[in-house]
Structure 1
Amino acid sequence: MTETQRKVGFLVCLVTIVLALLDLQIVSAATVPIVRDLDPEHGIDKIPWLVSAYALTSAAMLPLYGKLCDVLGPKRVFTGAIATFLLGSALCGAARSMGELIVARALQGLGGGGLMSVTMVVIAHLKGPGEDTAQGGNLGGIVAGGGMAVGPWIGGLLADHANWRWIFYVNLPVGLAVLVAAAFALKLPEHPVRRPIDYAGAALAAAFSSALLLVTDWGGKRYPWSSPVVLGLALAALVALALFLWRQVRAPEPVLPLSLFTVRELRLGFAVQGILGSAMMCAIYYVLIYLQVARGVSSSSAGLYLVPMAVGLAASGTLTGPLGARGWSARTFTISGTATSALAFALLATTTGPDTSLWLIRGELLLAGAGFGQLVGQLILLVQGAAPRDQLGVATTGIRFFQTLGSALGTAVFGAVLARLYAAHGTGGDVSALARLTGAAHADGVRAFVDATRVVFWGGAALMAMASLLALRLPRTRPAAPRTPPQQETVPA
């Protein structure tokens, strides 16, 4: 590739990641006009599926996307994922009922699962010598922070001043421009000799992730944790996981080779990324709940408190480039990022109270973002640098897969802890009823909720401290990546 093609390729990847991040955030601001337009009587009950359908299909596709990149080449998979995402976006915009919108949202998720993960595979092929830290760190930190900050705002703006359908239609011109630019600029390795694809393993991974996400989404909310539905889903997840591991040992071309876990950087990188997913959800979700329940901040205003975290993410992500050029390694960033995040959670746990200064909360979120920003791009670079070249795709999508599972598990576990501790104060466990209390009963309820929230933040601090210990085990100098012998078996194209 020429230098101009490489620069256009990086721009294409940047726009694609922005598209992915915006779509994760943008819909949340438009749920009310969507329900009012499509199903004002019963649509409110279907809103959870509007979010879950996208999350389930995008997570389920991650392992398969990685394998397809290694077998077919990243360019074909990249363009296929974008085309699927655009088709789903068009159908979402044209939906005439909540049912149609949910199905279209699931189709959009099939493509959306590749927007972030496959794009990072493409970036790995575009990078030249010495560009690992600068390109990856800047890209990860800036777009993650920007997407978090402006996603809900853009969604609300379009819903209020245009029409909610433009939330989905706006993807079309941007996505088509990305497809055209990718067709002319991206000159990536192709694989003329086809290898078999483990579709059975991919299906088992999809079944496991879908069941697990439904357990974390429904447990304690739609159904009690001890209900037959939740217990049945948990059992299905365990069975699917056991069958998946069995399949990966025996498949000639496993979709997530267990040999990856024999490489220390990959093993530790996957673990830290899963913890990071849990901790980020803890910081975002439970700080917003605290602001709304304990401090009376409206839901729309509470979202603005994420701006400091977004600024911290973008700033620290940007600084990883210059610091990397001065000799900072991915190991150094991982240790620094996990330690900074642990400190931010400890401060939240120590200072959060019924009357804490909201500016102090903003400062602590800024510090948390500064820690997360050092990890978002660097963990991917760490894994990509240690993975065998012919398994670059499965290694890159694997780290996104573990982050998704970590986010789901973290939200569920922290939520269960918060509910149990709140109920232990004799409040009955229903946080939503707190707004209806008055006088001393309301003050007691707020103190009970704040005490429970502090424990959740201490849990986040403990998780990031554990991640710091894992980061310290990373080798100071990475050995050469193991090379997989060339495959002799071929299948017809």
Structure 2
Amino acid sequence: MSPARVRIGFAVCLVTILLAVLDTNIVSAATVPIVRDLDPVHGMDKIPWLISSFALASAAVLPLYGKLCDTIGAKKVFVGAIATFLAGSALCGAAQSMAQLIAARAVQGIGGGGLMSVTMVVLAQLSGPRSAGGQSDAKGGGRGKGGSIGGIVAGAGMALGPWLGGTLADHASWRWIFYVNLPVGIAVLATAIAVLRLPVQPVRHRIDYPGAVLAAAFSVSLLLMTEWGGKDYAWGSPQILGLGVAGAVSLALFLRRQATAAEPILPLSMFKVPAVRLGFAIQALVGAAMMGTLVYVMIYLQVVRHLEPTAAGLYLIPMALGMTAVGLASERLAARGWSQKTFALLGTVAAAAALGLLATTHVSTNLWQIRGELLLMGAGFGLLVGQLIQIVQAAAPPQQLGVATTGTRFFQTLGNALGAAVFGTILSRVYEAKGVGGSTSELSRLGGAAHEAGVRALTSGMDVVFVVGAALMALAAYLATRLPHTP
């Protein structure tokens, strides 16, 4: 590819990342108009499925996307993922019932699972061929630059998503939160087809479809268990126990399949590489901590401080600014000799410190303090967003670049799910231990002194959640010290 084509390819990838990040959280701000339009009577009960159907479908196809990239080439998979995402977006916008919208979100999620993960494979290949040591031979540090700019775009999308969703729902129609993807996505799709020239494996490999099905069964069982456990069903209920058994059995069968398959979808040999093994583990811990931060800070602002959802969403701007600032600085710091290990270590330490500070939050904490802590959190996550994927990409065998990249995203997704379940259980247990009575979902029905006591109990529970999140990031920092030094 000529330098001009490479630059256009980078732009295509960054717009694709923005689409992926926007669509992950843009729906949350428009749930009320959606329910009011499609099912005002029973629609609120179906909102969790509207949110989780996208995540379930995305997680289920991640391992398959990686193997497809290594088998038929990243360009074909990239184009297919975008086309599927656009088809799902069009179906979402045209949905006439909640059931149709949930099914269309699942189709959109199948494509969305490849928008971020496969895009990172494309970015790595645009950087040029890798040397025997796994590093890019392209001049100018294309891989590092792509990762840092990707972090900037992800940070911007994180801040813009809720605001854009609320704006479109208020001033146009909720359907435009899906239709807005079409013109941008079609332009990206056409440009990718015309411009991208990526390497293809000269030897056709087989795809481990049974392994892909088992991986999907495990991830869906785990995500449903964490989504329903303690909310829709008790943790000891037959439904949750059944999902736990299904997840354990599918995981055991998946591991056996990967150990015996001729060409496994997630080769267990990759875990023998220290940087890959540690990168996956750190990414899972980061996924859990990030989920805890975003969800419980938003709950604090809305329930404890009585901010409207749109106003609470604006508090993500400092976090996005932190990610953007370190993204701009990381390229210069890398040019001065900073290693990926240094970035990972500083990022985990900064995130742990931010969570530790959030653990001091009380009912009347100055809101500027919250903004400052989110700024620090964004700086920490900004040092990790692109670097962890690059560490894994650099260490993995070149022929397993796709599997390594999507594997990183897969472990982040599992971390998100487990973090949501663990943090939710901790919050409920602390709240109940305060002797307020009832559960956190009943707080809005309390009045007077009982409501004030409930708010204090809820805040105490969140502080414990943030302490646990800080401990997870401290563990991630320790793992980062074990990473090899790579330029």
- The reply to whether TM is greater than 0.5 is yes
Query: What SS does structure 2 have at the residue aligned with 1:202?
Result: helix
Q: In the alignment, residue 194 of structure 1 is paired with which amino acid?
A: R
Q: Does 1:424 align with 2:433?
A: yes
Match of 1:318 among 328, 334, 347: 328
Q: In the alignment, residue 457 of structure 2 is paired with which amino acid?
A: A
Q: In the alignment, residue 163 of structure 2 is paired with which amino acid?
A: W
Q: Is the 8 A contact 1:133 1:320 kept in 2?
A: no
Task: Return the offset for 1:397.
Answer: 0.2
Q: Deviations over 1:227-282 (max 9, x none)?
A: 11111111101111000000000001100000110000000000000000000011
Q: Distance in 2 between matches of 1:293 and 1:163?
A: 27
Q: Distance in 1 between matches of 2:434 and 2:358?
A: 21
Q: Is the 8 A contact 1:207 1:237 kept in 2?
A: yes
Task: Return the offset for 1:436.
Answer: 3.2
Q: Is the 8 A contact 1:136 1:378 kept in 2?
A: no
RMSD: 1.3
Alignment partner, residue 119 of structure 1:
119
Identity %: 65
Q: Distance in 2 between matches of 1:23 and 1:241?
A: 29
Alignment partner, residue 93 of structure 2:
93
Change in 2 beyond 3 A, CA 1:179/1:433: same
Deviates more, 1:381-390 or 1:300-309: 300-309
Q: Does 1:138 align with 2:144?
A: no
Query: What SS does structure 2 have at the residue aligned with 1:426?
Result: coil
Task: Return the offset for 1:170.
Answer: 1.2
Q: Distance in 2 between matches of 1:104 and 1:38?
A: 14
Q: Deviations over 1:446-474 (max 9, x none)?
A: 22222221111110110010001000011
Q: Does 1:164 align with 2:149?
A: no
Q: Is the 8 A contact 2:10 2:146 kept in 1?
A: no
Q: Deviations over 1:183-228 (max 9, x none)?
A: 1211101234211100000000000000000011111111111111
Q: Is the 8 A contact 1:92 1:168 kept in 2?
A: yes
Q: Distance in 2 between matches of 1:396 and 1:180?
A: 24
Query: What SS does structure 1 have at the residue aligned with 2:264?
Result: coil
Q: Distance in 1 between matches of 2:100 and 2:205?
A: 37
Consecutive aligned runs of 4 or more in structure 1 exceeding 4 Å deviation: none
Alignment partner, residue 26 of structure 2:
26
Q: Does 1:205 align with 2:212?
A: no
TM-score by length of 1: 0.95
Match of 1:214 among 220, 224, 229: 224
Q: Does 1:338 align with 2:348?
A: yes
* Count of residues paired in the alignment: 477
Q: In the alignment, residue 471 of structure 2 is paired with which amino acid?
A: A
Q: Is the 8 A contact 1:63 1:394 kept in 2?
A: yes
Query: What SS does structure 2 have at the residue aligned with 1:30?
Result: helix
Change in 2 beyond 3 A, CA 1:329/1:95: same
Q: Deviations over 1:7-27 (max 9, x none)?
A: 000000011111111111111
Task: Return the offset for 1:354.
Answer: 1.3
Alignment partner, residue 406 of structure 1:
415
Task: Return the offset for 1:437.
Answer: 2.9
Q: Is the 8 A contact 2:234 2:240 kept in 1?
A: yes
1:275-424 alignment, distance < 5 Å: 275-349=285-359, 351-424=360-433
Q: In the alignment, residue 290 of structure 2 is paired with which amino acid?
A: M
Q: In the alignment, residue 99 of structure 1 is paired with which amino acid?
A: A
Task: Return the offset for 1:322.
Answer: 1.0
Q: Distance in 2 between matches of 1:180 and 1:296?
A: 45
Q: In the alignment, residue 407 of structure 2 is paired with which amino acid?
A: G
TM-score by length of 2: 0.96
Q: Deviations over 1:137-187 (max 9, x none)?
A: 422321111111111111111111111111111111111111111112111
Q: Does 1:55 align with 2:55?
A: yes
Q: Distance in 1 between matches of 2:233 and 2:451?
A: 27
Q: Deviations over 1:58-104 (max 9, x none)?
A: 11000000000000000000001111111111111111111111111
Q: Distance in 1 between matches of 2:89 and 2:103?
A: 11
Q: Distance in 1 between matches of 2:276 and 2:17?
A: 23
Alignment partner, residue 473 of structure 1:
482
Match of 2:283 among 273, 283, 290: 273
Q: Is the 8 A contact 2:163 2:310 kept in 1?
A: no
Deviates more, 1:328-337 or 1:133-142: 133-142
Query: What SS does structure 2 have at the residue aligned with 1:428?
Result: coil
Task: Return the offset for 1:130.
Answer: 4.3
Q: Is the 8 A contact 2:144 2:390 kept in 1?
A: no
Alignment partner, residue 266 of structure 2:
256
Unpaired segments ≥5 residues, structure 2? 128-137
Task: Return the offset for 1:133.
Answer: 5.8
Task: Return the offset for 1:433.
Answer: 2.6
Task: Return the offset for 1:477.
Answer: 4.6
Q: In the alignment, residue 80 of structure 2 is paired with which amino acid?
A: G
Match of 2:205 among 188, 192, 195: 195
Unpaired segments ≥5 residues, structure 1? 479-493
